[in-house]
C-alpha cells in the first residue's frame, strides 16, 4: 500500500479499490488489518480521519495521534479540506462542467437495501464537476466536492448530471464503481499543508483514458478538449 504523504502527525495512503476501511460483517480483509503495519516506528497505529467507499481508490488521510485526529476531523467538518476525485461516467454529459447542489437522504427497502436519494428534507451537498475527456461513449470527469455526504459523488453523477458512474452497483450497472480520490489538500496552522496526489488507476487507463496529471483541472483556464 503506497504512502503518498508522511510526517509526525499524518499519513496519506493510496487505498486500493476493493479494500473496505472497516471490517465487513461478512468477514474478509480490511484496512483495519494493515494499521499496525502503518505505525512505521510510532507507538500508536494511525486512525482513518474520513471514509471513502470500498470501491474507491486513492487518497485516504490517517492521523497518528488523538490531537491530530481531532484537528483533521474538524477541518473536514468545516469544509477546510480540498478533495479532488476522478470518475468515469457511463455515458457523455451534454454540458462540459457544472455545479450540483442537492439535498441527500438515506432510504432503504427489503428488495434493494439502502441507498442515497435526492430529497428536500435531506442534508445539503455541493459538488463541482468538469469533463476532461471522452472515449468510446464514456467520459472522464473531475469532481470537487465541497461537502462529504455518503455516496455524494455517486448520487450527484446520477441525479445531477444524469449519468451514473461506470460500474456502480447501486446507482448504475456493474460491480465496481469507477471513482478515484486523486488529490487531497489539508491546510495546517504553523505547518506546511498536507498535500497528496494518488497515481492514475490502471483500470482507467485500460478504458483508454490518459492520466490528466497532478494539475487541478478547476484552476485551468483552458477548455476540456485541451486536457491531454
List, in sequence order, the alpha helices (H) in the chain: 66-77, 152-156, 202-206
Are the beta carbons of 60 and 44 closer than 8 angstroms? no
Are the beta carbons of 160 and 127 closer than 8 angstroms? yes
Are the beta carbons of 20 and 46 closer than 8 angstroms? no
Torsion of CA 31, 32, 37, 39, to 10 degrees: 110
Q: Of 186, 187, 184, 213, which Cα lies nearest the Cα of 196? A: 184
Mapped onto helix, strand or coil, the DSSP state of residue 159 is helix
CA distances from 154 to 89, 97, 214 (A): 10, 16, 22
Mapped onto helix, strand or coil, the DSSP state of residue 154 is helix
Helix (H) or strand (E) holding 4: strand 3-6
**Which grid cell sits at 20?**
473496505
Catalytic residue among 14, 53, 55, 168: 53
Q: Of 168, 166, 174, which Cα lies nearest the Cα of 206? A: 166
- 55 carries an active-site annotation: no
Active site residues: 53
Amino acid at each position: 500500500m503506497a504512502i503518498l504523504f508522511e510526517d509526525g502527525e499524518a499519513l496519506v495512503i493510496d487505498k486500493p479499490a476493493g479494500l473496505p476501511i472497516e471490517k465487513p460483517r461478512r468477514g474478509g480483509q480490511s484496512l483495519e488489518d494493515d494499521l499496525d503495519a502503518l505505525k512505521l516506528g510510532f507507538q500508536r497505529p494511525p486512525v482513518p480521519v474520513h471514509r471513502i467507499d470500498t470501491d474507491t481508490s486513492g487518497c485516504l488521510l490517517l492521523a497518528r495521534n488523538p490531537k491530530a485526529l481531532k484537528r483533521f476531523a474538524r477541518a473536514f467538518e468545516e469544509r477546510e479540506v480540498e478533495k479532488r476525485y476522478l470518475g468515469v461516467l457511463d455515458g457523455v454529459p451534454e454540458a462540459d462542467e457544472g455545479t450540483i447542489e442537492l439535498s441527500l437522504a438515506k432510504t432503504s427497502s427489503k428488495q434493494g437495501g439502502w441507498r442515497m436519494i435526492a430529497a428536500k428534507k435531506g442534508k445539503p451537498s455541493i459538488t463541482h464537476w468538469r469533463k476532461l475527456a471522452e472515449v468510446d461513449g464514456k467520459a472522464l470527469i473531475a469532481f470537487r466536492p465541497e461537502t462529504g455526504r455518503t455516496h455524494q459523488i455517486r448520487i450527484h453523477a446520477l441525479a445531477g448530471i444524469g449519468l451514473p458512474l461506470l460500474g456502480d452497483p447501486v446507482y448504475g450497472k456493474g460491480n465496481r464503481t469507477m471513482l478515484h480520490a486523486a488529490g487531497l489538500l489539508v491546510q495546517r496552522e504553523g505547518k506546511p499543508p498536507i498535500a497528496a496526489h494518488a497515481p492514475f488507476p490502471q483500470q482507467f487507463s485500460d478504458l483508454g483514458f490518459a492520466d490528466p496529471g497532478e494539475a487541478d483541472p478547476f484552476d485551468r483556464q483552458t477548455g476540456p478538449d485541451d486536457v491531454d
